[in-house]
Amino acid sequence: MSKTLQAIRGMNDILPEQTPLWRYFEGTVAGLLDGYGYRQIRMPIVEFTDLFKRSIGEVTDIVEKEMYTFEDRNGDSLTLRPEGTAACVRAVLEHGLSGGGQVQKLWYMGPMFRHERPQKGRYRQFHQIGLEVFNLDGPDIDAELIVLTWRLWKLLGIRDAVTLELNSLGTSEARGRYREALVEFLTAHLDQIDEDSQRRLKTNPLRVLDTKHPETQAVLVNAPKLADYLDEESRVHFEGLKARLDAAGIPYVINPKLVRGLDYYSKTVFEWVTDKLGAQGTVCAGGRYDGLVEQMGGKPTPGVGFAMGIERLILLLETLEQVPESIARQVDVYLCAFGEQAELAGLTLAERLRDQVPGLRLMVNAGAGSFKSQFKKADKSGALYALILGDDELAQQVVGFKPLRGQGEQQNIAWSALADHLATCVVQD
Ligand code: HAM
């Protein structure tokens, strides 16, 4: 017997019942970003593996164990993108978009791939909307990124459910000095920390700070603090950001353990977290990466950005019952035609209505059928009204206008008056 065909674990179909909510979400974000002057960029889903190794960092979970990497027919090592920043920087460099200090405010949207252990809110193919800004080095732009997400949470009705966590990782020199102090401290407590942290101590010591291991966490209580090693420049930058968030009335929590799982960050890092989704509570995360462009072969170019996880935000909208009712209805009007002549007239009538009533969502019955079966389909479509066209209506040049959701009685409406009628009762609905 042949094996049933199935999607790959952790890679989900987004079914027609769910796509209206996705489109609402994506449309809301796109509209918001238009309002702040961000422009969309679209990068390929596959890049050379080296791009991710060089940017995200060789000793990160993503590069060490989560990438979908394969050899193509030329023998090149390619990887399905695990995130968008690396590819965005590559595209910006390749097309000279950041040359001469040009400011770029970009956004992208699409699938990302990480071979993680799937669970609620964590998938192997997931979707992000990301923003990246180049050539602005002040805290004002860090603040703008946060302000615009704050506005988004309000638009979506989820503001009360998310908290902003902030930290500063300092410049790479400051981080280097801190790393040394941390390694010295943890080496002195080596027998008290877990095995994974012992390994990280050698490869990527700052990641020990976000360990989930309780004993290691207990040891870390007395560890040197990154904040005490911050250089003046980063400190002033961080104070500048906090002052702007205070002015904008945006609450935040300083989380000294926030180090992020990608190596390219410096100075500001932040995460929007919720306690409504269980273990996978980070819905949006990012920070500044002032060294990345240079590290990738470009001129020194400050950069800052973030990405939000669409699946997690959709889950949050559903959990908080913040799904607007209006998006559930995908059809306004269903046209039923009985007999061949009525079908022909219905076809042209429907096209005329689509010309005359912008935004109208009109479904025409296909596959003929009895009164009963067409009404059943009309009802199932979710439409508010059915238009009925049979021989009698045809002779009188009218349609039967039948409310399907209990908004009044059926009535006949002349073809010539139909567009105006639909415009008032459907489109402005
Ligand atoms: P990230 O923290 O790896 O950062 O991912 C950003 C967001 O993507 C997460 O907060 C989460 O909402 C979502 N996400 C990540 N992994 C998964 C997964 N397996 N399943 C579902 N959702 C997930 C980045 O990717 C950086 N490129 C962000 C950035 C842009 N920093 C600067 N610019």
Complete edge-to-edge strand list for the sheet that includes strand 303-309 = 39-40, 104-113, 125-134, 303-309, 282-288, 266-273, 163-168, 253-254
Asked if 427 and 353 touch (Cβ cutoff 8 Å), the reply is no
Contact by Cβ (8 Å): 365, 377: yes
Residue 428: predicted pLDDT: 58
Give the position, in ligand 1's atom list, of the atom nearest the Cα of 122. Answer: 20
Is 17 assigned a ligand-binding role in the annotation? no
User: Are the C-beta atoms of residues 145 and 286 closer than 8 Å to each other?
Assistant: yes
SS3 label, residue 119: strand
Residues 404 and 384: beta-carbon distance below 8 Å: yes
Which of these three, 263, 297, 319, is where a domain ends? Answer: 319
Closest C-alpha residue for ligand 1 atom 20: 122
Q: pTM value?
A: 0.93
In a domain, 215, yes or no: no
DSSP 113: E
Write the Ramachandran bin of 386: left for phi over 0, alpha for psi from -120 to 50, otherwise beta.
beta
CATH number at residue 350: 3.40.50.800
- Determine which residue's CA is closest to atom 13 belonging to ligand 1: 309
Instruction: Choose which residue among 60, 112, 269 to substitute to test ligand 1 binding: the one with the highest number of ligand atoms within 8 A of its C-beta.
Output: 112
Phi-psi region of 171 (alpha: psi -120 to 50; beta: other; left: phi over 0): beta
Q: Which of 26, 27, 29 is nearest to 38 (CA)?
A: 29
For 45, 71, 78, 80, 271, the CA distances from 74, given in Å and listed in that order, are 18, 8, 10, 16, 40
Residues within a 6 A CB radius of ligand 1: 83-85, 114, 116, 121-123, 126, 128, 130, 132, 261-262, 282-287, 305-309, 311-312
Instruction: State residue 406's pLDDT score.
Output: 83
259 and 406, same domain (yes or no): no
Give the whole-angstrom CA distance, residue 171 versus residue 169: 7
Same-domain status, 23 and 139: yes
Last residue of a domain, one of 319, 342, 366: 319
Q: Give yes or no: residues 122 and 53 share one domain.
A: yes
Q: Please list the rounded mean pLDDT of every run of 10 residues in the chain (429 residues).
A: 86 96 97 98 98 92 95 98 98 97 98 97 98 98 98 98 97 91 94 92 89 92 92 96 98 93 93 96 98 96 98 98 88 96 96 95 95 95 96 97 90 96 80
One DSSP character per residue, 282-309 reads EEEEEEE-TTHHHHTTS----EEEEEEE
Element (H, E) at 163: strand 163-168
**Both 23 and 72 in a single domain?**
yes
> Which of 312, 314, 316 for a ligand 1 pocket mutation test, highest count of atoms within 8 Å of Cβ?
312
Is 85 within any annotated ligand binding site? yes
Query: What pLDDT was estimated at residue 322?
Result: 96
Q: How far apart are CA 248 and CA 135, in angstroms?
A: 23
pLDDT value for 316 = 98
Residue 182 in any domain: the answer is no
Residues 314, 373: one domain?
no
Boundary residue ending a domain (268, 287, 319): 319
Residues 337, 314 share a domain: no
162 and 39 fall within a common domain: yes
Tell me, what amino acid is at 400?
G
Residue 86: CB partners within 8 Å, gap ≥ 6? 47, 51, 52, 54, 55, 56
pLDDT at 59: 86
Helix 232-248 / helix 139-156 crossing angle, nearest 10 deg: 30
Q: Which amino acid is at 27?
A: G
β pairing state of 385-389 and 333-337:
parallel
Nearest Cα residue to atom 16 of ligand 1: 122
Same domain, 268 and 136: yes
Q: What is residue 423's predicted lDDT score, i.e. its pLDDT? A: 93
For residue 298, say whether it is annotated as part of any ligand binding site. Answer: no
Distances (CA, A) of 70 to 116, 179, 290: 17, 34, 30
Which pLDDT does position 145 carry in this prediction?
A: 98
- Whether the CB-CB separation of 339 and 391 falls below 8 Å is answered with yes
CA dist., res. 199 & res. 189, Å (int): 14
Quick one: 258 and 164 in the same domain?
yes
Structure confidence at residue 261 (pLDDT):
85
| Closest to 168 (Cα-Cα) out of 111, 229, 248, 115 | 229
Gyration radius (Cα) of the chain, Å: 28
pLDDT at 257 (0 to 100): 87
The range of the structural domain enclosing residue 403 comes to 330-423
Q: In this predicted structure, what is the pLDDT of residue 330? A: 87
Q: What is the dihedral of CA 94, 62, 267, 302, to 10 degrees?
A: 0
Asked if 381 and 312 sit in the same domain, the reply is no
Question: Is 84 within any annotated ligand binding site?
Answer: yes
* 246 and 101 in a common domain: yes
- Asked if residues 266 and 172 have their Cβ atoms less than 8 Å apart, the reply is yes
